[in-house]
Amino acid sequence: MNLDIYQVDAFSGKCFGGNPAAVIPLNEWLPDATLQKIASENNLSETAFFIQKNGHFDLRWFTPVFEVDLCGHATLATAHVLWQELGFEKDSIKFQSKSGELGVKRDDRLYVLDFPTDRLEKTEVPDIIKASLNVNILEIYKGREDYLLLLESQSVLESLKPNFNKLAELKTRGVIATSTGSDVDFVSRCFFPYFGIDEDPVTGSAHTTLAPFWSEKLGKTTMTARQISPRGGFLKIESKGERTAIAGEAVTYLKGKVFI
């Protein structure tokens, strides 16, 4: 069996930036174990698989270790492949996923994701987070999958050196650390060692958690953001109540074949 594979740098306007995702179109679903092995072999933070079905696309995402319920950058990468590589002609795309219906539309050079907004509850700092980050945490919340930590400044965020072995003991997707930004409204870093990703380069889904938090803090619904990983990425965010719009660019890095 031969499968087409594309590798896309999402949330970046040029190669070697943003978050790389593999995208593999399928005619029908392969066994879950096979999908997981392909994702593990790719060894990227996410591999997206999709099939066309009744006017929409069914979409699934796998890290090297687990299937996940929601992934922003690999959804953006999939939309990029459909429009730029596979000739999809409509102005918007509907994906069915484990997180319900997800939309993507084009806005000039940007792809705009329509995702469900996360719900946050204030909580106490787990001992594992204290031990693995060793930093002053101003506020902490728990969302659908992640802990959200507010730190004092961008410089503090940049200086974080987590103990990933310790942080992996948290047994949830991970931690989003954030602060106000020097040239954008807010910045973040995302650590997901339990899912096999020590630091994710750019995390679209994390911004469904960050959007309501910063919208309330800043008193605005439209914001700019950077994820300040070594690769880095720029995002435009709109907090729309139950939904969050997340916009960014994408570029194709690689086209190839998977031989099974």
- DSSP, residue by residue, 53-93: ETTEEEEEEE-SS-EES--HHHHHHHHHIIIIIS---SSEE
Q: Are residues 43 and 100 in the same domain?
A: yes
Q: What is the distance between the alpha carbons of residues 148 and 71, in angstroms, rounded to a whole number?
A: 17
Structure token digits, residue 15:
């190669």
Q: Are residues 168 and 109 in the same domain?
A: no
Q: Are residues 54 and 26 in the same domain?
A: yes
Residue 176: phi and psi, rounded to 5, are -110, 120
Q: Are residues 103 and 204 in the same domain?
A: no
- Asked if pLDDT for residue 56 goes beyond 90, the answer is no
Is-contact 1 22, C-beta < 8 A? no
Task: Assign 55 a pLDDT band (cuts: 50, 70, 90).
Answer: confident
Q: Are residues 46 and 74 in the same domain?
A: yes
Q: Are residues 143 and 96 in the same domain?
A: no
CATH code, 173: 3.10.310.10
Q: What percent of the chain has pLDDT over 90?
A: 95
Q: How many CB atoms lie within 10 A of CB 155?
A: 10
Task: Establish whether 152 is a catalytic residue.
Answer: no
Q: Are residues 193 and 253 in the same domain?
A: no
Task: Assign 108 a pLDDT band (cuts: 50, 70, 90).
Answer: confident
Q: Are residues 60 and 127 in the same domain?
A: no
**What mean pLDDT do residues 98-122 have?**
95
Is-contact 37 22, C-beta < 8 A? no
Q: Pairing mode, if any, of strands 121-122 and 110-116?
A: unpaired
pLDDT digits (tens, 9 = 90+) for 123-140: 999 999 999 999 999 999
pLDDT at 163: 97
pLDDT at 154: 98
Q: Are residues 127 and 234 in the same domain?
A: yes
Total domain count, the chain: 2
- Asked if pLDDT for residue 54 goes beyond 90, the answer is no
Q: Are residues 233 and 126 in the same domain?
A: yes
Exposure of 48 in the CB half-sphere (CA atoms within 13 A)? 31
Q: Which helix (H) or strand (E) holds 124?
A: none
Task: Assign 183 a pLDDT band (cuts: 50, 70, 90).
Answer: very high
Q: Are residues 149 and 90 in the same domain?
A: no
Structure token digits, residue 187:
């910045």
Residue 122: phi and psi, rounded to 5, are -65, 140
Q: Which domain holds residue 109?
A: 2-116+247-259
Spatial CA neighbour of 201 closest among 231, 226, 160: 231
CA 120 to chain centre: 18
- Asked if pLDDT for residue 171 goes beyond 90, the answer is no
pLDDT at 196: 87
pLDDT digits (tens, 9 = 90+) for 203-251: 999 999 999 999 999 999 999 999 999 999 999 999 999 999 999 999 9
Is-contact 249 109, C-beta < 8 A? yes
Q: Are residues 140 and 232 in the same domain?
A: yes
Assessment of whether the complete model's pTM goes beyond 0.75: yes
C-alpha distances in angstroms, 146 versus 34, 76, 111, 120, 177? 27, 21, 25, 10, 10
Task: Assign 96 a pLDDT band (cuts: 50, 70, 90).
Answer: very high
The amino acid that residue 24 corresponds to is I
- Asked if pLDDT for residue 153 goes beyond 90, the answer is yes
pLDDT at 181: 97
Spatial CA neighbour of 222 closest among 239, 200, 202: 239
The amino acid that residue 201 corresponds to is P
- Tell me the pLDDT of the chain averaged across its residues: 96
**What mean pLDDT do residues 43-50 have?**
96
Is-contact 223 186, C-beta < 8 A? yes
CA 141 to chain centre: 19
Q: Which of 41, 46, 67, 121 is catalytic?
A: 46
